[in-house]
Amino acid sequence: MALDKAEVEKIAHLARLHISESETEEVTTRITDILTLIDQMQSVDTEGVEPLAHPLDVVQRLRVDEITEEDQRDRLQQLAPASEDGLYLVPKVLE
């Protein structure tokens, strides 16, 4: 399965990645290589094999429902470019 340039541009847009004109060709080739590997994997007979969601064969440890975090707003907001009234400010977004 090969990807064309338009598809790569669309994927880049969805991931909010900027890929320059000159990079597009290389990225297209590299993604296509990955997809070729996946095609190869798809052709393996997996009859009777349970789907795997994680490479480690262990299960999730659970956390007791307790409040363990303290308010760190002031420290965290020092990292933000802009904040006001306790809110993080970002360029206006409206649907």
Partner 1 sequence: MEWETVIGLEVHVSLSTKSKLFSGSSTEFGAPPNTQASIFDCALPGTLPVFNEEALRMAVRFGVAIGAEIGKRSVFDRKNYFYPDLPKGYQVTQLDFPTVGKGSLTVTLADGSEKVIGVTRAHIEENAGKSLHEEFSGMSGIDLNRAGEPLLEIVSEPEITCAEEAVAYLKKLHTIIRYLDISDAIMAQGSMRCDVNVSIRPKGATELGTRTEIKNINSFRFVEKAIYSEVARQQEILEDGGRIIQETRRYNADKDETTSMRSKEVANDYRYFPEPDLLPIVIDDEYIAAVRAQLPELPDAREARFVEDYSLSNYDAGVLVSSRELAEYYEIVARSSGDSKLAANWVSQDLLGLLNKNNWSIADSPIQAERLATLITRIKDNTISGKIAKTVFEAMIIDESGVDAIIESKGLKQVTDSGEIEKLVLEVIENNPEQVQQYKDGKAQVIGFLVGQCMQLSKGKANPGQVNELLREKMQ
The amino acid sitting at 16 is R
Q: How far is the CB of 77 from partner 1 (least distance, A)?
A: 7
Q: Does 30 bind partner 1 (CB under 8 A)?
A: no
Q: Is 83 helix (H, G, I), strand (E, B) or coil?
A: strand
Nearer to partner 1 by Cβ, of 22 and 75: the residue is: 75
Q: How far is CA 81 from CA 18, 72, 90, 92, in A?
A: 21, 17, 9, 14
Q: Exposed/middle/buried for 49, CB within 10 Å: 0-12, 13-18, 19+?
A: exposed
Site for partner 1 in 31-50 (CB under 8 A): none
Q: How far is the CB of 47 from partner 1 (least distance, A)?
A: 19
- What are the residues binding partner 1 (CB under 8 A)? 14-16, 53-54, 56, 58-69, 71-73, 76-77, 82, 84-95
